[in-house]
Amino acid sequence: MNFEADHRDNPEYFTPIYQMALTQFNQAVKLLQLPEDCAEWIISPDRCMMVSLPIRMDDGKLRTFYGYRVQHNSALGPGKGGLRYHPSVTLGEVTALATWMTWKGGLMNIPLGGAKGGIRCNPKEMSKNELENLTRRYTAAIFPIIGPGKDVPAPDVGTDSQTMAWIMDTYSMQTGFHTMGVVTGKPEIMGGSLGRMEATGLGVAHTIAHAAKKINLPLEGATVVVQGFGNVGYYTAKFLQGMGAKIIAVSNSLGGVHNKNGIPIDPLHQHAQEDRQLDNFPDTEKITNAKLLSLKCDILVLAALENQVTEKNASKVNCKIYAEGANGPTSLEADKILEEKDIFLIPDILCNSGGVVVSYFEWVQGMQSFFWETDDIYKRMEKIMNNAFEETYTLSQQEKVGMRTAGLMIGIKRVADAMMVRGLYP
């Protein structure tokens, strides 16, 4: 494709993770038999914005950070996607994540496009005051391209409801209008939806329960390993434990804990709030992240970052259900290795879509200033995700392709159809 050739020399853009998003797209699009010129139009991001963010740090020094907002596609609706604060953020990473948001919205059949933002920084080493200044400056910088009908950020790795509150406030102060619909994942007091906090993890648990039925695996007593103990990992583990599963190992970026008889999740979470070092938790053995990924279990949940299972460790994965709570945790080479095994893979754009689905509900509620009950939210979310799961499963059986390719085909096709019927302007 020209698009690849045109951009290959830009090292910040053309990162391995972006290459991965492109290759996945190429594989799926071949099966859809879309004309080459349309494929290039669909994969090309609508708009990428890069901003410099000068911040006065607490020690009085000035520091300049770099931020991005990529709007990949808006054929189905305004851009939608998280905002990530992490030292590894690059234009390529944000573009890959924005591209996956487009397919995720398409697969869920919700009226939203795909976008993503990020700032290269280490939020764990910054004070609340510095993070507030950074967030407000970023909001001011990307102000012209965001808004309820344009592009709606949400939390992602390294950001939370407080971050969203600062964005909403900065945006509203600048426009002079109270604008709830500019972000989702807000605190409840500011129009945050009930259920949004736990939505991604709950959705991951639902898709696992759905997959377990397909392979006749009883959840009662099923063994679970969770990589990543942020918002997604914690709620996934909590809901799976509630469904009767046994969480035998959990890790975060500092290391992990293991107990073959099960680990109580709420006390572990409580512990992690006070001491990020999980391995001080009583009645557990210490385990490295590498070892954890090769533990024999029924369900392996990837809820950390991208590129965790690669050609180096994929052959050691020993589970029945492989659930991608994170975006892009599996490299292309690892995908091939996993396909050879008897593993039910739930791809990221299906598995972790609970977050964006409830974000969609929050956006709707915000624009109507009318709020729904938690039960309603859970029920509607389950329905949307179940439909997408069944559609993906059916296509994967029909076309004899993996769940990832099937999910991508559905998402891409929906976006392509919308683009074709809208046509070109001018």
Catalytic residues: 116
CA distances to 222, 246, 247, 287 from 298, rounded to whole Å, are 6, 10, 10, 18
CB nearer ligand GLU, residue 161 or residue 223: 161
Output Rg (C-alpha) for the chain, integer angstroms.
Answer: 21
Tell me the C-alpha distance between 5 and 229, whole Å.
Answer: 39
Should residue 327 be labelled a site residue for ligand GLU when binding is judged by CB under 6 A? yes
Should residue 81 be labelled a site residue for ligand GLU when binding is judged by CB under 6 A? Answer: yes
* Least distance between ligand GLU and beta carbon 83 (Å): 8
Quick one: 11 or 87, whose CB is closer to ligand GLU?
87
Residue of 69, 80, 186, 238 that binds ligand GLU (CB under 6 A): 80
Region near ligand GLU per CB under 6 A, out of 80-88, 168-176, 212-220, 367-375:
80-88
Rama region for 185: left / alpha / beta (φ>0; ψ in -120 to 50; rest): left
Q: Which residue has the tokens 């959840």?
A: 219
Is 139 a binding residue for ligand GLU by CB under 6 A? The answer is no
Q: Shortest distance, CB of residue 80 to ligand GLU, whole angstroms?
A: 5
Q: Does 102 bind ligand GLU (CB under 6 A)?
A: no
The answer to the question of residue 228 lying near ligand GLU (CB under 6 A) is no
Distances (CA, A) of 161 to 74, 156, 188: 25, 10, 9
- Determine which helix (DSSP H) or strand (DSSP E) holds 86, and give its type and residue range: strand 79-86
Question: CB-based burial of residue 201 (10 Å sphere; 0-12 exposed, 13-18 middle, 19+ buried)?
Answer: buried
For ligand GLU, the closer CB: 256 or 329: 329
The residues, ordered by sequence, that sit 6+ positions from 413 with a Cβ below 8 Å of its Cβ are 32, 106
The residue among 299 and 356 lying less far from ligand GLU, judged by its C-beta, is 356
Quick one: which of 70, 89, 91, 154 contacts ligand GLU (CB under 6 A)? 154
In the window 340-359, what residues touch ligand GLU (CB under 6 A)?
352, 355-356, 359
Using CB under 6 A, list all residues that contact ligand GLU: 80-82, 154, 156, 184-185, 327, 352, 355-356, 359
